[in-house]
Amino acid sequence: MIYCGIDWAERTHDVALVDDSGCLLAKRHITDDSAGYRVLLDLLAEHGDTADNPIPIAIETSRGLLVAVLRQGKRRVFAINPLAASRYRDRHGVSRKKSDPGDALVLANILRTDMHAHRALPNDSDLARAIAVLARAQQDATWNRQQMANQLRSLLREYYPLALDAFATWQNGLCRPEARELLKAAPTPGRAARLTRTQIRAALKRAGRKRGIDTETERLHEILRRETAHQPPLVEEALGKQMLALLGQLEAACTAADTLATAVEETFPDHPDADVILSFPGLGTQLGARVLAEIGDDRERFADARGLKSYAGSSPVTRASGKKTSITRRWVKNDRLNHVGYLWAFSAITASPGAKAHYRRRRDNHGDWHAAAQRNLFNRMIGQLYHCLKQHEPFDEHAAFPTPLAAVA
């Protein structure tokens, strides 16, 4: 049995091959291009790599062109956490010396000694991987949009609180097109006080508003003309220019989030598991795509529902030492899937009578706080999702939350 370790870098990579006894068979320094990939594949072929019996590879990343090349066929690629690799390095020397060829050798030895303790990258379909790219990008764009909106809100509080009062009744506030158009037309309180009803109405129409324009125009005209404290004129103009710069970044973030959301809505329904995922209460297209992006469609990835629950961070972890035992939440988890679980459980409470009853039971009978009760509900529903995906069956409210016998009596 031959094992391969690759120390990944931005421009070059170090490769090491070892056998069952730990003897170094070969090492190479390759470039991060097609020529380097060819050298790597030829090196593997020289040591017995075939399509039916490929050499397993350990590397410290799960992304990039190199990983895409290696994952073709039946080859198993293990993404080793850099922190775990550093702990293995200490087994071979106490001087804490470090080198790229040495790290490649350490990665190869990890597979030689502990391959059973590590998990290979899942064998997801190309469509599932494409959905994962779009869903994660849309999630990042949404977080970036919220971050930019928070920065803009903080700046407006310093010199332009009337704008925040004007947009307070709108859902999504500063992220709405109407808010952005009005801030472009009046970046300072002085200019806002001089806005006419015609200018406000034109800004709302440019933002795409169709209904209630006259009512909103009167409301905004009254708010923007209120008496308020002002910064010195020069300072106010400078803050207005800073606000316009932040507004441009927010507008770009909103456009990116909307574009990626449209791409997700077009791609996700084509996946065979989309119907099963969308049958669950509280899961729409965006959240459903994020769930699929994190769990994939490789049915052999998780041995049972407990593995998926631990991966999502919904199941509790028990720590026991001597006479002390504590049951706490998990800190090592898939953060993206855990974030989706919070939103999923929050929506399922209003969409499913059984989910709402389960949540209330955790709050009233078990004394859970809101977050703990939601986490318990997510833990139950993701286990049900695992079963439904295995059997390719839609969600069944009565099977998922059977009526208690006491309630029936």
Give the start-to-end residue ranges of the domains of the chain.
3-117, 130-266, 275-408
d(CA 162, CA 240): 14
Output the 3-class SS for 28-67: EEEECCHHHHHHHHHHHHHCCCCCCCCCCEEECCCCCHHH
pLDDT digit string (tens) for 135-148?
A: 999 999 999 999 99
d(CA 237, CA 189): 10
379 versus 173: the higher-pLDDT residue is: 379
pLDDT band at 407, cuts 50/70/90?
Answer: low
Across residues 47-64, what is the average pLDDT?
A: 90
- In this predicted structure, what is the pLDDT of residue 9? 87
Q: What is the mean pLDDT of the chain?
A: 91
If phi > 0 it is left, if psi is from -120 to 50 it is alpha, else beta; for residue 296 that is left
Domain 3-117: give its CATH code: 3.30.420.40
pLDDT digit string (tens) for 256-308?
A: 999 999 999 999 999 999 999 999 999 999 999 999 999 999 998 898 999 99
Note the maximum CA span of the chain.
83
pLDDT digit string (tens) for 193-229?
A: 999 999 999 999 999 989 999 999 999 999 999 988 8
pLDDT digit string (tens) for 152-200?
A: 999 999 999 999 999 988 888 899 999 999 999 999 999 999 999 999 9
Instruction: Supply the pTM of this predicted model.
Output: 0.85
Q: What number of other Cβ atoms are within 10 A of residue 194's Cβ?
A: 11
- In this predicted structure, what is the pLDDT of residue 205? 93
Asked if the model's pLDDT at residue 92 lies above 80, the reply is: no
- In this predicted structure, what is the pLDDT of residue 404? 63
d(CA 261, CA 401): 32
Asked if the model's pLDDT at residue 405 lies above 70, the reply is: no
Q: Is 318 helix (H, G, I), strand (E, B) or coil?
A: strand
- In this predicted structure, what is the pLDDT of residue 171? 85
H or E segment and range at residue 320: strand 317-321
pLDDT band at 358, cuts 50/70/90?
Answer: very high
Asked if the model's pLDDT at residue 252 lies above 90, the reply is: yes
Q: Tell me whether residue 51 is exposed, middle or buried, using C-beta atoms within 10 angstroms of its C-beta: 0 to 12, 13 to 18, 19 or more.
A: exposed
- In this predicted structure, what is the pLDDT of residue 282? 93
Q: Tell me whether residue 74 is exposed, middle or buried, using C-beta atoms within 10 angstroms of its C-beta: 0 to 12, 13 to 18, 19 or more.
A: exposed
pLDDT above 70 as % of the chain: 97
26 strand-pairing partners: 17
Asked if the model's pLDDT at residue 93 lies above 80, the reply is: no
pLDDT band at 245, cuts 50/70/90?
Answer: very high
- In this predicted structure, what is the pLDDT of residue 181? 94
Across residues 113-139, what is the average pLDDT?
A: 92
- In this predicted structure, what is the pLDDT of residue 409? 45
259 versus 404: the higher-pLDDT residue is: 259
- In this predicted structure, what is the pLDDT of residue 328? 84
| The residue type at 33 | D
If phi > 0 it is left, if psi is from -120 to 50 it is alpha, else beta; for residue 322 that is left
pLDDT band at 408, cuts 50/70/90?
Answer: very low
